[in-house]
Copies of this chain bind each other. A is one copy, B any other.
Amino acid sequence: MFDIDVNYYPRETLIEFAVAYLQRLGASTEEAAIVADGIVTAAGRWHPGKGQGLEKLFRLTIQCENGGIQPGAEFEVINETPAIAHVDGHKGFGYVVADKAMHLAIGKAQNVGVGCVVVCHSNHFGQAGYHAETAAKAGMIGLVMTNAAAEMAPWGAKKAVLGTNPWGIGIPRADAPPILLDMALTTSGRGMVMWAHREGQAIPDNWMLTTEGRRSTNPADFFSADENAIVGTQYPIGEFKGYGLSLFTDVVTGVMSGALFGMSCFTDITNHDVGHFFLAINPDMFMGRDQFNTRLAQLIAEIKQAEPIDPDGEIYLPGELEFRTQAERRTTGIPIDSATVDKLRVLAAERNVDCPL
């Protein structure tokens, strides 16, 4: 089923391990619970070994030990109105800062219909979609953005200045998982290019540009001469459109928050200084919830009833495949790749944490 060796573990086992390990890194009970849920939820939905699951513990270990992450950091609301808040994350766990920021936005949306929270001095917060889902679980429409390391060139340029700047969008549904869009503003990610390079496979010619701004289907063209590092730039969705969306994202997450932005973001692992943006919108301010649910169900029905190109295919809502995967893994357990398991065993042993993997 997977192209790598994996072992399967119950979600509870992974949560228990991640919580114990994070506490050993200095996380409080609350912080450990939030980070563990973010990491293990990602592991439960995505392909193992691609960097979205328990692998996140590697960088978290480095950053908790070098001061890049400060467990117990204050979540400081610098300025606030009934509708917005400006938050300083004080180098806390990005997952925790983002979780608190989204809950703050939700509270404001419950009161005045919309909540907009902008955060500086944070860290990598996991999946943007995870935090958008938090809004949807509370009955809100959520829009989440973050800035990221410079990997995208402005359209027409050779050099990366902007990040892939991921977005998460959550839309609540009655009696069903939310519509959940989790996406970067680039056509692919570095992980996919590295995978294709390792496997000797061609890639579409709109995944990256070389350092000279050329397209290529050969992943090797995007690597440094020693083949150790990717040096090309990620290709924006819709070309100048994705460039524009990424610029907008960096303005509201980085420039406006007081975090780093542009080529500076994510360059110093002791001070990533990431910026985030959280928007929660309350549909109840616009119509009765039953009416909203009914109308949304009508739109979904139109989508689901559209004839698929593949006669055996099916039309999916954003996030639907991931929710199915998550449901299946409640039975099978969550696959973790062997390389990650091996490395976690070593990290845990070094820190005297019991490792059930």
* Residues of chain B contacted by A287 (CB below 8 angstroms): 256, 258
* Residues of chain B contacted by A306 (CB below 8 angstroms): 153-154, 157-159, 161
**Chain A contacts with B in 168-183, Cβ cutoff 8 A:** 169, 171, 179, 181, 183
Taking a contact as CB atoms under 8 Å apart, the answer to whether B302 and A251 are in contact is no
* Residues of chain B contacted by A254 (CB below 8 angstroms): 299
Taking a contact as CB atoms under 8 Å apart, the answer to whether B118 and A116 are in contact is no
Taking a contact as CB atoms under 8 Å apart, the answer to whether B237 and A241 are in contact is yes
* Residues of chain B contacted by A342 (CB below 8 angstroms): none
Taking a contact as CB atoms under 8 Å apart, the answer to whether B82 and A156 are in contact is no
A53 to B157: give the CA distance in the assembly, Å: 31
Stretch with Cβ within 8 A of B (4 or more), from A33-41, A290-298, A348-356: A290-298
A135 to B63: give the CA distance in the assembly, Å: 40
**How extensive is the interface on chain A, given as a class?**
35 or more
Taking a contact as CB atoms under 8 Å apart, the answer to whether A248 and B181 are in contact is yes
Say yes or no: is A226 at the interface (Cβ < 8 Å to chain B). Answer: no
Binary contact readout A37-62 vs B (1 if CB under 8 angstroms, 0 otherwise): 00000000000000000000000000
Stretch with Cβ within 8 A of B (4 or more), from A14-22, A66-74, A93-101, A310-318: A310-318
- Rounded to whole Å, the gap between the CB of A303 and the closest CB of chain B is 5
Interface centre among A112, A183, A255, A295 (most CB of B within 10 A): A255
* Residues of chain B contacted by A225 (CB below 8 angstroms): none
* Residues of chain B contacted by A328 (CB below 8 angstroms): none
Stretch with Cβ within 8 A of B (4 or more), from A192-200, A278-286, A330-338: A278-286
Given A83-B114, A159-B306, A309-B212, is A258 in contact with B286 using a C-beta cutoff of 8 Å? yes
- Rounded to whole Å, the gap between the CB of A354 and the closest CB of chain B is 41
Taking a contact as CB atoms under 8 Å apart, the answer to whether B183 and A84 are in contact is no
Say yes or no: is A220 at the interface (Cβ < 8 Å to chain B). Answer: no
Taking a contact as CB atoms under 8 Å apart, the answer to whether A262 and B302 are in contact is yes
* Residues of chain B contacted by A8 (CB below 8 angstroms): none
A213 to B315: give the CA distance in the assembly, Å: 13
* Residues of chain B contacted by A273 (CB below 8 angstroms): none
Taking a contact as CB atoms under 8 Å apart, the answer to whether A244 and B298 are in contact is no
- Rounded to whole Å, the gap between the CB of A322 and the closest CB of chain B is 12
* Residues of chain B contacted by A191 (CB below 8 angstroms): none
- Rounded to whole Å, the gap between the CB of A114 and the closest CB of chain B is 4
Taking a contact as CB atoms under 8 Å apart, the answer to whether A81 and B141 are in contact is no
Say yes or no: is A187 at the interface (Cβ < 8 Å to chain B). Answer: yes
Q: Which residue of B lies closest to A287 (CB)?
A: B258
- Rounded to whole Å, the gap between the CB of A296 and the closest CB of chain B is 5
Partner of A116, one of B82, B241, B281: B281
7 additional A-B pairs beyond A81-B113, A82-B112, A247-B303, beta carbons within 8 Å, are A79-B285, A84-B112, A161-B303, A251-B299, A255-B292, A255-B299, A262-B303
Pick the 8 closest A-B CB pairs, nearest first.
Answer: A237-B238, A213-B309, A84-B113, A157-B306, A83-B83, A181-B244, A244-B318, A83-B112
**A→B interface (CB under 8 Å):** 79, 81-84, 86, 108, 111-114, 116, 118, 141, 143, 153-159, 161-162, 169, 171, 179, 181, 183, 185, 187, 206, 209, 212-213, 237-245, 247-248, 250-252, 254-258, 261-263, 279, 281-283, 285-287, 292, 295-296, 298-299, 302-303, 306-310, 313-318
Selected A-B contacts with CB under 8 Å, 22 pairs: A81-B111, A81-B112, A83-B108, A86-B285, A114-B116, A154-B303, A156-B308, A157-B303, A158-B307, A158-B308, A169-B248, A171-B251, A181-B244, A183-B238, A185-B238, A213-B309, A237-B238, A244-B318, A247-B299, A254-B299, A256-B283, A257-B286
